[in-house]
Amino acid sequence: MSKRVFSGIQPTGQGHIGNYIGALRNWVRLQDEHEAFYCIVDLHAMTMPWDPKVLRRHTTEKAAELLACGVDPDRSVLFVQSHVPDHAELQWVLTCVARMGELRRMVQFKDRSRGESESVGVGLFTYPVLQAADVLLYQAHGVPVGEDQRQHVELMRDLAQRFNSNFGVTFTLPEAWIPEVGARIMALDDPTQKMSKSDMETRPSSGLMLTEDPASLTKKIKSAKTDSGTEVRAGDGKPELTNLLTIFSAIEGVPVPELETRFAGSGYGAFKAALADAVVAALEPIRLRYEELMGDPGELDRMLFKGAEKAAAVAAPTMDAVRERTGLGPRAVLTPQ
């Protein structure tokens, strides 16, 4: 049965292969069977210090990147979060439903504030409430994301449930749709940390960008950290090889044990060379399409405005119901004097 899906990505920099394997390629797949809403979450990108010009540029670049990966604005609704003001409005209402304790337990907040919770922005603390508003506004069932977002989707369910029991059933309870392979791709230079856009700014060799040229991708894969052994095998004591095999498996659609057999006795050098070829073959069409799309940023912005019109039409009835049930009443229709 066709269900509605919603997911978001921050315009915080160049996307990487973890974003692609953990989320974006599933977005592309899902748009054929489901009614899909995909959102570039610019308000979320303001939860860490930002430069206005860079935020604006990254938003357009993220649209090009999503289209280059295969998101199709004719088969899904692709839009920018701040273009639909209901996201911010619903966030406030949900902030008044959320509890300090449940937000304090969010792992992403704990990681990002790194123990300095008194000096980080309040937006970082309420980040998951805005994320809940994103999904609940559209009555989405499925939220295709990587493993790191599981806890945030649990919170959305809790907030939706609490709101429904306090004010009457208003929201669909969403569930996380997390892929079986590749839901958490690790950094190439440190297998204890997930590959992340923000980390790639300070440690470029930690990740593989979707729009990176073949020579640079190959170089990064060949110099990716590995253990001191020779056996191409996943599992205990081999976190680096496990990560590289997971990337290979996700990209080629071949199970890890089959890859272990294929590369038995061949050593890390040959394995990495084959992985580099597979990654380049998968990403090269994305890079070329991205460059083409970035040739006309005006067209990308027009496409995003059209997406926002479609999104706003679906969000409005939910926001109207929320206003009605919480006692805010109908929106005022303002005519400028």
Q: Which parts of 198-227 interact with ligand ATP (CB under 6 A)?
A: 198
Asked whether position 149 contacts ligand ATP by CB under 6 A, the answer is yes
CA distances from 180 to 50, 125, 253, 259, 284 (A): 34, 29, 12, 17, 25
CB burial string 217-237: b at 16+ within 10 A, e below: bbebbeebebeeeeebbbeee
Q: Answer with the entry of ligand ATP, ligand LTN, none that 91 interacts with (C-beta below 5 to 8 A by kind).
A: none
Min separation Cβ 215 and ligand LTN, Å: 29
Q: What is the rounded distance in angstroms from the CA atom of residue 226 to the CA atom of residue 241?
A: 6
Q: Which parts of 125-184 interact with ligand LTN (CB under 6 A)?
A: 131, 134-135, 143, 145, 149, 152
Q: Answer with the entry of ligand ATP, ligand LTN, none that 185 interacts with (C-beta below 5 to 8 A by kind).
A: ligand ATP
139/149 with CB nearer ligand ATP: 149
- From residue 247 to residue 286, the character string flagging contacts with ligand ATP as x (rule: CB under 6 A) and all else as - is ----------------------------------------
Min separation Cβ 27 and ligand ATP, Å: 9
Asked whether position 60 contacts ligand LTN by CB under 6 A, the answer is no
Q: Which parts of 14-33 interact with ligand ATP (CB under 6 A)?
A: 18-19, 21-23
Min separation Cβ 296 and ligand LTN, Å: 27
Asked whether position 6 contacts ligand LTN by CB under 6 A, the answer is yes
Asked whether position 76 contacts ligand LTN by CB under 6 A, the answer is no
* Residue among 3, 29, 162, 184 that touches ligand ATP (CB under 6 A): 184
User: What tokens appear for 208 in the block?
Assistant: 């593989």
* Residue among 73, 142, 146, 174 that touches ligand ATP (CB under 6 A): 146
**Sites of contact with ligand ATP (CB under 6 A):** 9-10, 12, 18-19, 21-23, 145-146, 148-149, 183-185, 194-198
**Sites of contact with ligand LTN (CB under 6 A):** 6-10, 41, 44, 131, 134-135, 143, 145, 149, 152
